[in-house]
Amino acid sequence: MSDQSEKKSHGPLTGMRVLELGHFVAAPFGARLLADLGAEVIKVEAPGGDPVRQWGRQVEGAGAPWTSMHQRNKQSLVLNLKDTRAVEIVLKLVATCDAVIENFRPGQLARMGLGREAMERARPGIVIARISGYGQDGLYRDRAAFGVIGEAIGGLRYLTNHPPSLTDLPPARVGVSIGDSIAGLYAAFGIVAGLWARDRKDGGDGRGRVVDVALTEAVLSMMEGMLPEYGVFGSTREPQGARIATASPSSAYPTSDNKWILIAGNSNPIFARLAALMGRPELATDPRFAGNAVRVQNVEALDEAIGAWSVRHTAADLDRMLSEADVPSTIAYTAAEIAADPQFRARGMVREVEDPAFGTVLHAGVVPHVPDDPGGVRWAGPAAGAHTDAILAACGLGSEEIAGLRAEGVVA
């Protein structure tokens, strides 16, 4: 193992050991959250490595920079799970772990000899988080899990759109794999909940549990009042574009330098300050705008007035003016503004991480922040198989045996 991987672990999950049988986003992200808080995570990758390593722009010979963040704090072991000797190695590792996190298609691990019973035999009380598109049972369980499909089934895509009166464009995708990441976060939550139930001094039951996270369901769980409103009133929630249905003004407004500035000015005192800043103090007492309820009714006219003002100023000037007037606002941050933000920097939420493959790489920090006992970035994401020899040796395999398995393509 590298020097870096031997750095002392910190964080509330120090002492937890997790096996990741994951690929792409959901399970690897969930496992990384556990690792960031101190858990020891062994990532099992297929020969060639997790296909996510090919995503995004590449550095020749080193792969995609986001690998550095996505796989950080993990140990990487490359195994060909089609070989029963690799399956035996997995079970040896399960025997040493508290939890497993996986996002194979439902039933696929069982067909390989890595079902729950085999894992329970290897490690009674193992907690297994399974992430899939639609869940481990039911009519849809065998459907392929595509993030964009799952997000649309969970209700997110329909609502992330402009009203049809404004445009014929299709609803925008949230620009990241939000459904996968939320599912991964739920899996991490479920694992720790299962381990608290199993391990606590006072009442822990020593039992393992399966945590069955569906991408569709993780997304649906974020849809706040949508279902209760539909059930009681029979009304479907409709997309509101850049606005909020019940608060005005609250939208994104254009700037002279082709950026967007968000303004949340829907309380009366804030709106009065905004109107004064715009040089139009009369708006605050205009009967169309004197109170949030009427502002919502006349939102088109109000947003037009605000946009006509905002577009005459640069984003930086608006940011400064609105801030001085104590009107909640922000530029819609790109990566550049995030990287430069002093609050993110001060809290370690944007940080430079040394990476042997890429040099210094900018990472997002550890969430949640636990100031008494922070996790951290102990090392950047390793190359596929970087820890294969060390992990196999710790499983009791000799170096000749490892060389033999490598020659046969069972490990890499």
Site for its own copies in 297-326 (CB under 8 A): none
Q: At closest approach, how far in Å is the CB of 161 from its own copies?
A: 6
DSSP secondary structure of 13-62: TTT-EEEEE--SSHHHHHHHHHHHTT-EEEEEE-TT--GGGGSSSPBTTT
Catalytic residue, candidates 36, 50, 98, 180: 180
Give, as ranges, the residues between 220 and 279 that touch its own copies (CB under 8 A): 220-233, 235-237, 239-244, 246, 250-254, 258, 260, 262, 264
Give, as ranges, the residues between 166 and 205 that touch its own copies (CB under 8 A): 166-178, 181-182, 185-190, 192-197, 199-204
DSSP letter at 7 equals S
Phi, psi dihedrals of residue 91, rounded to the nearest 5°: -65, -35
Applying CB under 8 A, the span of 43-51, 73-81, 149-157, 294-302 interacting with its own copies comes to 149-157
Give, as ranges, the residues between 341 and 370 that touch its own copies (CB under 8 A): 341-344, 346-347, 349-350, 352, 358-365, 367-370
Two tokens at 173?
């995708």
Contact in structure between 41 and 75 (CB atoms under 8 Å): yes
Give, as ranges, the residues between 82 and 101 that touch its own copies (CB under 8 A): none
Q: At closest approach, how far in Å is the CB of 202 from its own copies?
A: 7
- Looking at the Cβ atoms of 241 and 291, the one nearer to its own copies is 241
Q: Is 180 among the catalytic positions? A: yes
Contact in structure between 189 and 164 (CB atoms under 8 Å): no
Contact in structure between 412 and 78 (CB atoms under 8 Å): yes
Stretch (H or E) spanning 66: helix 66-70
Q: At closest approach, how far in Å is the CB of 235 from its own copies?
A: 7
DSSP secondary structure of 127-165: EEEEEESS-SSSTTTTS---HHHHHHHTTHHHHSS--TT
In the list 142, 148, 308, 354, the residue contacting its own copies (rule: CB under 8 A) is: 148
In the list 7, 59, 285, 398, the residue contacting its own copies (rule: CB under 8 A) is: 59
In the list 46, 91, 110, 149, the residue contacting its own copies (rule: CB under 8 A) is: 149
In the list 146, 257, 308, 316, the residue contacting its own copies (rule: CB under 8 A) is: 146
Contact in structure between 64 and 94 (CB atoms under 8 Å): no
Radius of gyration from C-alpha coordinates of the chain: 25
Tell me the C-alpha distance between 401 and 393, whole Å.
10
Should residue 407 be labelled a site residue for its own copies when binding is judged by CB under 8 A?
A: no
Applying CB under 8 A, the span of 73-81, 117-125, 214-222, 382-390 interacting with its own copies comes to 214-222
Give, as ranges, the residues between 116 and 135 that touch its own copies (CB under 8 A): 129, 134-135
Q: Which residues contact 283 (CB under 8 A, 6 or more apart)?
A: 271, 275, 289, 302, 305
Tell me the C-alpha distance between 277 and 275, whole Å.
5
Give, as ranges, the residues between 9 and 48 that touch its own copies (CB under 8 A): 12-16, 25, 33, 37
In the list 284, 321, 333, 356, the residue contacting its own copies (rule: CB under 8 A) is: 333
Which residues are tagged catalytic? 180
